[in-house]
Amino acid sequence: MNSRYATMAIFLLLVIFAAYVSGSFEAGVWYFSMTKPAWTPPAWLFGPVWAILYLLMALSMWKVWISGHASRNGALVWWLLQLGFNVTWSWLFFGLERTGWAMLELLFLIGLVILCIRIFLTISRQAALMMVPYLLWLCFAWLLNFSIWRMNGGSLGF
């Protein structure tokens, strides 16, 4: 296999692994019994949206990587960090049922994604643009998380 496509496969495997781990923290009875805003997307929509976003994230990092740019290693570190925080949100929100902590963590994740976009922009405009739908979804997810948190007591809880 061409090393160019081997790296694409690696980035795809990384996001598939992140999706698998995130998906292991399921929205159970606890989530479905919570009060949610009327504009909450239907449950079936989350899977396809995340599939597209994870694919864009992998392709974005791959474009950065194959550029050969001197900053690609640093970009990879930030990309991996945001991917880890992506999984952490699922663990906090669904695994630990801590909507307040998840909301705060999501702000940090949004900051990491903005940083990735800025770094990617210096390497590949196309790669940076591929991260924008993810950023927009995270901002929407933060609003949804915030609304759920407020509508269900607004406590950080420990």
* Whole-Å CA distances, 130 to 11, 70, 115, 118: 14, 20, 14, 12
Number of domains in the chain: 1
d(CA 112, CA 9): 23
Domain membership of residue 157 (yes or no) is: no
pLDDT for the residue numbered 132: 98
Domain membership of residue 158 (yes or no) is: no
pLDDT for the residue numbered 5: 87
List the chain residues with pLDDT less than 50. Answer: 158
Task: Say whether pTM exceeds 0.75.
Answer: yes
Domain membership of residue 57 (yes or no) is: yes
Domain membership of residue 156 (yes or no) is: no
Kindly report the CATH number assigned to the domain that includes residue 119. 1.20.1260.100
pLDDT for the residue numbered 153: 85
pLDDT for the residue numbered 121: 97
Range of the domain at 64: 3-151
* pLDDT tens-digit readout, 24-46: 998 888 899 999 999 999 989 99
Domain membership of residue 84 (yes or no) is: yes
